Structure 1
Amino acid sequence: MNQLLRSLQLSLLNIGYAQLGKEWDFDNVFSPFTRIYYIAKGNAKVFHSNQEFYLKPGYLYLIPSYTYSRYKCDTYHEQYYISCFEGMGNGPSVYNLCHYQYEVAAQEMDLYYFKRLLELNPGRSLTNNDPQAYDNRPTLDRFEQSNNDLTAQDYLETHAILSLLFSRFVRHSKISDSGAETRREIGDILNYIGENLHLRIDVKQLADYSNLSTDYFSRMFNEKVGIRPNPYIQAKRIERAQLLLLTTNNSLKQIASKVGFENLSYFSRVFKKHAGKSPGGFRREQLKNG
C-alpha cells in the first residue's frame, strides 16, 4: 500500500483566503481537482458524496476530485482554500486506494500551514469564487509553470505541506491488510488496469496476469477492492474520459479510443449511463463558462 502511495504527486493550483456571503451559492459543481478548506469564521454548507457537511470554524474539509457537489452560505463565512491536482502516474486514483473522512478537526499547526502556503505561493488566489468560472477548464500548463517557477526549497515545502494536509483525511486502506503479498498483487493489478485503459481488458486476462483462476480472481478482487473487476474497469474508463473531455481538445472518437472503446456509439451509451449525459453534452455543460 505505502509503495503505491510513493507515486502520489500533489500539484498546487490555487491557495487563498476568502470572505464570503450569500453569493457563495453554487449547484451541480463538478471538479477535476481536489479541494481542501479551513473554515476560519462563520458557517456554510457543502453537499457531496451523499452527505451534507455543515462547515464550522476550526475544521478542515476535503472534497475529492470528480465529485459532484453543492455549496451554500446563508449568512457569512471566512475560509482558507486549496485546490490541487492529485496524480498517481498511470496507476489508480488515490481515492480508490484509501477511505477518507471529509470533515476533521484542525490540528494546532494547520492554520499556520495554510498561511505558509500563501506566503510561498503569492498570486495564486482565485479572482472569482464561482466554480464554473475557474474549475471546469483547467489550464494545467499555466499552473505547472507557476510550480516550476518556485525555488527548489519552496517547491519541496509546498509539496510537503500539501501532503501533510491531505493526510489529515486518510483513515485506512481500501485494500485489505491481510498480507503483504496480497496487497502487492492487488496494487499491481490496479496499476496494470490504469496503465492499459486504452486496451481491451477482461477478467480472464487479469486472472492470467495474476496466475489465478477467473472465478477466484474475481472473488478476490471484489473482496479487496469492494467492486467486481468489470464495473471497476468501466468506471475507470469513464473517469479517464471525463478528464480528457475537460483537459484536452481531443475529438470524442479520439477520447473513446484512448479509454478503450473502439465503437463511439457504445462509448456514448456507457458514458451516459455513468455520467447521466452524453460525452458531448458533458463537455459543453462543464466548459460553457470556461
Structure 2
Amino acid sequence: MKREKYNLDFILLNIGYAEHHADWNWKNINSPFARIHFVVKGAAKIVRNGGKTELKEGHLYLTPSYTHHGYECEEDLTLFYIHIYESPDKPRSIFDQFGFPVEIVGDGLCANLVERLYEINPGRELSYYDPNDYDNSTELIRNIALQGNTPLALELESQGIIKQILSRFFAHAKEKTPDVDERMSRVLDYIHSHIDTTISISELADISFLTKDHLIRSFKKKINCTPGKYINRKKIEKAQLMLLVGDYSVQELAFKLGFDNVFYFNRLFKKLTGENPTSYKKRLEIFANQAKD
C-alpha cells in the first residue's frame, strides 16, 4: 500500500446530538458528504445497497459520500451525527479507493472521542434534519466559515479525533482494486487528476501502453465499468460538490469539467442524479433562502 497516495484530511461540516421520536425517516439521499453516526440508545435502520442495517446502541455507522441511502425510524432514537467531506481540490477520494464496513462496535474511547468533538465544535448542529434542507449551500458556507474561525489547536484536535474514529473503520477496510497493476493505477491517477479536462480513451491507452481495446477490457474487468462511464460518474460527482460550494452557472460548470456540449452535460447530470443541474441548483437556492428566513 503506497500511503503517500492517501490524503486523509477532512473538513468537519456538522456535529450534533439528536433525539428522534419516529421522525428520522428519509429516502433517496445521495450527498457529497460522508456521515458517521454514533448511536446512544434506541433503534432505527440505514437503508443502502438494497439492504437494511439495524442500528444498535454503542455502535458507529459510516456512510461514504455519494452513497445512495435512506433512514427508517419507528421508535425513539438518540444519536450523535458527524458530517465530513473532502476538499473538491483533492484528486481522488479515499472512498474511491477503499470499501468500508457500514458498522463497527464502539467502546468507551469512541464515545469519549465523539463527545469531545461535539464539545469543541459548538454551533455545528443541523438547522434542519431533512437532508434536502441541510445539504444546501447556505448551511455549507456557514459551517465552512465556522471551521475557518476555529482556533488552530482545536482544529488540529478535531482532525485528530476524526482520524481516530475513521481508523476504527479503516481496520476493517479493503482496497477496492487490490490487484490493479501499475499501468491501471496510472490510468486511475490520471483520470482523477485531470477530471476537469476532456479525457480521451486514446490518452489513457498511451499512458498505460495498451491498445484502446485492451485498455477498455482491462479497465472493465478491474473497475467493473468502462473508462468512459467511470470518467462521467466522477465528473458529475464533482459537479454536485461544486454546485454546493460555489456559485456557478450550468454553462460555467460544464466547461470547468471539460464538457464542450452543455446539452450533453445536462443530460448526463440528470441520468446520474435524477434531476438536471438547473433544477438541482434552483432547489439549493430555494433551501438557502428558506434558511435565511
TM-score by length of 2: 0.87
SS of equivalent to 2:78 = strand
Percent identity reads 34
Change beyond 3 A, Cα 1:247–1:276: same
Structure with the bigger percentage of strand: 1
Contact kept? 1:27, 1:69, Cα under 8 Å: yes
Aligned residues: 286
1:46-57 → structure 2 map (5 Å cutoff): 46-57=46-57
SS of equivalent to 1:236 = helix
* 1:174 matched to 2:172: no
1:1-290 → structure 2 map (5 Å cutoff): 1-3=1-3, 5-87=5-87, 89-137=89-137, 139-170=139-170, 171-177=173-179, 182-183=181-182, 185-290=183-288
CA distance in structure 2 between the aligned counterparts of 1:187 and 1:263, rounded to whole angstroms = 29
Alignment root-mean-square deviation, CA: 2.3
TM-score by length of 1: 0.88
SS of equivalent to 2:260 = coil
Spell out, residue by residue over 1:239-288, the C-alpha distance to the aligned partner (whole angstroms, 9 max, x if none).
Answer: 11222233322111111111221111111222222222222223334553
Change beyond 3 A, Cα 1:229–1:266: same
- The answer to which of 67-76 and 57-66 deviates more is 67-76
Q: Which runs of 5+ in 2 are unaligned?
A: 289-293
CA distance in structure 2 between the aligned counterparts of 1:281 and 1:149, rounded to whole angstroms = 33
AA of the residue aligned to 2:216: S
Contact kept? 1:34, 1:65, Cα under 8 Å: yes
Spell out, residue by residue over 1:18-58, the C-alpha distance to the aligned partner (whole angstroms, 9 max, x if none).
Answer: 11112222233332211100001010122123322221111
CA distance in structure 2 between the aligned counterparts of 1:177 and 1:266, rounded to whole angstroms = 34
**Corresponding position of 2:291:** none
CA distance in structure 1 between the aligned counterparts of 2:174 and 2:5, rounded to whole angstroms = 12
C-alpha displacement of 1:140: 4.5
Spell out, residue by residue over 1:137-157, the C-alpha distance to the aligned partner (whole angstroms, 9 max, x if none).
Answer: 355543333223333332222
Spell out, residue by residue over 1:39-98, the C-alpha distance to the aligned partner (whole angstroms, 9 max, x if none).
Answer: 010101221233222211111111222233322321201001101112474412222111
Change beyond 3 A, Cα 1:137–1:68: farther
